[in-house]
Amino acid sequence: MTTTVTVLIVYLGILAALAIWSRRETHTLSGFYLAGKKLPYWVVAFSTNATGESGWLLLGLSGMGYLVGMQAYWVVVGEILGIGLSWWVVSRRLKKLGDETDSITVPDVLASKFHDKLHLIRAAAVLIIVVMVTTYVTAQMVSTGKAFSSFLPMEYKTGVLVGSVFIIGYTFVGGYKAVSYTDVVQGVLMLLGLIAVPAAAIIATGGWGEVKTSLQYQDPALLDMFAFAGKPALIGIASFIAIGLPFLGVPQLLIRYMSARDDGEIKKARIMSLVVLFIFTFGAVTAGVAGRALYPGLADHETIFPVLSSNLFPPVISGMLLVVVLSAIMSTVDSLLLLASSSVVRDTYQKMMGSPDSDERLSNYGKLLTVVIGVIAVLLGMREPKVIFDFVLASWSGLGSAFGPVIIGILYYKRITWLGVLCGMLGGFAMSVIWLMYFKDEFYGLYEAIPGFLAGFILTFGVSYLSSEKKSA
């Protein structure tokens, strides 16, 4: 245990040093929230992947691999398709529009083309972001508690508190620049961990053939990518693949594109991002699948990654793998805290309320709000929601359904109207939530992002077409 704690202290010291190094950029809104739009491609690529994956990658997705076996590889397919579409369809146009309109936030971009006197677009965007981000961060705090209690003799609630202090602390001090560069450190650690752990699990089982033999003995359906129990295979596959859809619209990823130094950096970043994400997701699922062969019957399938890490490696490596799990969590929480904070300070206080305060004062407000939102998420996380995978996916789909269709509309549809954007954003979000609450179980668990995106696209383009026709008439 002493070795693990030592490794953890060294890691947290590195994060603290990066935060202190980055603090010069935090005296303006653009600096605090976008690092002055100066980031190189390798930082943008790693930050995008590390932010997009979170604690659900190492705990939730590996747990899904443990629970359903080979079917979980459809999630890998979906994520690669989703991030690929996001890089090739959205990133460069969004960067250009963001620079042209001097945008700092996603609501900035959405409102940039319209004269919205009542700020309805910003108000709707802020409401959705704050609600979904609070839910999302809560899920990550749960992951933090699970990670600490799995690796160390520490109570769940103590783990939540310890992890949150450091996450909130370095985000408060260093802002977006600290977040982005710590994402690189965290992303590299995640990459190494997701190569080492599944490889060690396969070797410990006796090879891939033995993994398959064990799964065949437990349940032959674990080896069949098309064997979705109790539902049509097409719906199961579509739901897993659709997990990649929100990459087109989740604001915490879109601002990564806006923070790049220039268009050339984005073109280089997207190749690196795809390769790294494939290793991330394939490694997580494989760790869960091999872990099922090695340790069948776990009470909590979402602890399989910590169990493998603790049992298959010496204390020094085990300590580093605890750091890997925390890296996945921290790399998302810090970005979400900044996202919620920017929505309140930039979009609400400065733009909607017309605050005359200086940039430096506004950035200080942003720092304080980061702490407040983090504390709220900690208090909610103390209740320990049970299933990280489902909790994160609900937030992921809500944000993606709200912003994905309208971002596509803003970037590609010349007849887009403010009413189309408002209806598409609210309709996509509402459909995602309503489907999750009332219809998902009746339709064999069809993932809520599918109806959410459909509603968002229909309303964005349909209402824009009708309202532009009316205006021209």
Would you say residue 422 lies in a domain? no
Using a 10 angstrom Cβ sphere, with 0-12 exposed, 13-18 middle and 19 or more buried, the burial of residue 334 is: buried
Is residue 221, in this structure, part of any structural domain at all?
yes
Q: Specify the DSSP class assigned to residue 28.
A: S
pLDDT per residue, tens digit, the chain (473 aa), is 577 778 778 877 887 787 777 777 667 777 778 878 889 999 999 888 888 777 678 888 999 999 999 999 999 999 999 999 999 999 999 999 999 999 999 999 999 888 878 899 999 999 999 888 887 777 777 777 777 777 777 787 888 888 788 777 777 776 777 778 888 888 888 899 999 999 999 999 999 999 999 999 999 999 999 988 778 899 999 999 999 999 999 998 999 999 999 999 999 999 999 999 999 999 999 999 999 999 998 988 888 998 998 899 988 888 888 777 777 777 677 778 888 888 888 888 888 888 888 877 888 888 888 888 888 878 877 765 555 556 677 788 999 999 999 999 999 999 999 999 999 999 999 999 999 889 998 888 899 999 999 999 999 999 999 988 666 54
Q: Which two tokens stand for residue 158?
A: 């103590």
What are 421's two structure tokens?
């954007």
Q: Domain for residue 279, yes or no? A: yes
pLDDT at 385: 53
Answer whether residue 376 is part of any domain: yes
pLDDT for 472: 53
- The verdict on residue 404 lying in a domain is no
The secondary structure of residue 260, as a DSSP letter, is B
Query: Looking only at Cα atoms, what is the longest distance across the chain?
Result: 75
Q: Report residue 228 CA to chain centroid gap.
A: 26
CA dist 22 to 31, 212, 327, 374, Å?
10, 48, 18, 20
Which pLDDT score is estimated for 390?
Answer: 64
Beta-bridged to residue 39, according to DSSP, are: 260
Q: DSSP labels for 150-174?
A: HHSS--HHHHHHHHHHHHHHHHHHH
Phi (first) and psi of residue 259, to 5 degrees: -90, -5
**Residue 450, in any domain of the structure:** no
The CATH number for 82's domain is: 1.20.1730.10
CB count in 10 Å sphere of residue 55: 29
Number of independent structural domains in the chain: 1
For residue 109, what are the contacts with CB-CB under 8 A and spacing of at least 6? 94, 97, 98, 101, 103, 254, 258, 407, 410
Q: Residue 414: inside a domain, yes or no? A: no
How wide is the angle at C-alpha 149 spanned by C-alphas 371 and 134, nearest 5°?
30
Alpha-carbon dihedral sign for residues 397, 115, 411, 416? positive
Q: Domain of 10?
A: 2-382
- The answer to whether the beta carbons of residues 293 and 215 sit under 8 Å apart is yes
Contact at 8 Å (CB) between 58 and 325?
Answer: yes
Decide if 69 is inside a domain: yes
Strand-pair partners of 260? 39
**pLDDT at res. 234:** 93
